[in-house]
C-alpha cells in the first residue's frame, strides 16, 4: 500500500480554480471557486453562494473573502 501524506496547503494549492464546499463555524455552508489563500487560511472565493440545508442556493455572494478562523472544513464540491 502506497500512502501519500500531503500538507494542508498542498491540498489548498491543488484546489485553486476548483469548486469547493466550505462549512463555517456558525453552521453556514458556502460554495465557490478558490481564487487564493494565505497562511491564516483566509480564502478568496469567486462565484460564491450561501447554501440552504438541502444544498440549494440561498444567496449569491459573488467574490468574497472568508476569514480562516471562521472555517471548519473545506471539501470538494
Residue bearing the bigger pLDDT, 3 or 12: 12
Average of pLDDT values for 69-75? 96
Domain that holds residue 43: 8-76
Q: Is residue 3 part of a domain?
A: no
What is the residue-wise DSSP string for 10-64? HHHHHHBTSEEEEEETTS-EEEEEEEEE-TT--EEEEEEEEE-TTS-EEEEEEEE
> Which pLDDT tens digit goes with each residue over 14-58?
999 999 999 999 999 999 999 999 999 999 999 999 999 888 999
Count of domains for the chain? 1
**Which CATH number covers residue 49?**
2.30.30.100
Q: Is residue 67 part of a domain?
A: yes
User: pLDDT class for 6, splitting at 50, 70, 90?
Assistant: confident
pLDDT at 2: 58
Amino acid at each position: 500500500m502506497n500512502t501519500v501524506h500531503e500538507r494542508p496547503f498542498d491540498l489548498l494549492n491543488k484546489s485553486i480554480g476548483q469548486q469547493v464546499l466550505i462549512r463555517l463555524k456558525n453552521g453556514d455552508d458556502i460554495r465557490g471557486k478558490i481564487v487564493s489563500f494565505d497562511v491564516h487560511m483566509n480564502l478568496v472565493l469567486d462565484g460564491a453562494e450561501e447554501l440552504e440545508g438541502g444544498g440549494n442556493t440561498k444567496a449569491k455572494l459573488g467574490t468574497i473573502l472568508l476569514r480562516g478562523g471562521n472555517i471548519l472544513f473545506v471539501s470538494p464540491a
